[in-house]
Amino acid sequence: MNRNIKILVIEDEGAIRNLISTALQTNGYKYEVASNGSSALSLLSTHQYDMVFVDLGLPDIDGVEIIRKYRTFSTTPIIVISARSNDDDKINALDEGADDYLTKPFNVEELLARVRSTLRRTQYLDNKQTEEEHIFTNGLLKIDYISQSVFVADEEIHLMPIEYNLLCLLAKNVGKVLTHQYILDKVWVNAIESDLSSLRVYLTSLRKKIEKKSHEKYIQTHIGVGYKMVRVTSTEEE
Chain residues binding Ca ion by CB under 5 A are: 12, 55, 57
Q: Residue 93 or 178: which CB sits closer to Ca ion?
A: 93
Q: Name the residue whose CB lies closest to Ca ion.
A: 57
Q: Write down the least CB distance from residue 7 to Ca ion, Å.
A: 18
Q: Residue 57 or 161: which CB sits closer to Ca ion?
A: 57
* Order of strands across the sheet that contains 141-144: 135-138, 141-144, 149-152, 155-157
How far is Cα of residue 117 from the mean position of the Cα atoms in its chain? 21
Q: Residue 9 or 169: which CB sits closer to Ca ion?
A: 9
Neighbours of 122 (CB within 10 A): 16
Contact at 8 Å (CB) between 152 and 210? yes
Q: Write down the least CB distance from residue 147 to Ca ion, Å.
A: 34
Q: Write down the least CB distance from residue 55 to Ca ion, Å.
A: 5
Q: Write down the least CB distance from residue 96 to Ca ion, Å.
A: 17
Q: What is the 3-state secondary structure (H, E, C) of 157-188?
A: ECCCHHHHHHHHHHHHCCCCEEEHHHHHHHHC
Q: Residue 88 or 237: which CB sits closer to Ca ion?
A: 88
Q: Write down the least CB distance from residue 104 to Ca ion, Å.
A: 9
How far is the C-alpha of 38 from the C-alpha of 218, rounded, in Å?
32
Instruction: Tabulate helix, strand, coil % of the chain (nearest 5).
Output: 45, 20, 30
Q: Residue 35 or 214: which CB sits closer to Ca ion?
A: 35
Beta strand 6-10 pairing with 51-55:
parallel
Written as one string, the DSSP assignment of 48-82 is --SEEEEES--SSS-HHHHHHHHHTT----EEEEE
Q: Residue 34 or 199: which CB sits closer to Ca ion?
A: 34
Q: Write down the least CB distance from residue 13 to Ca ion, Å.
A: 5
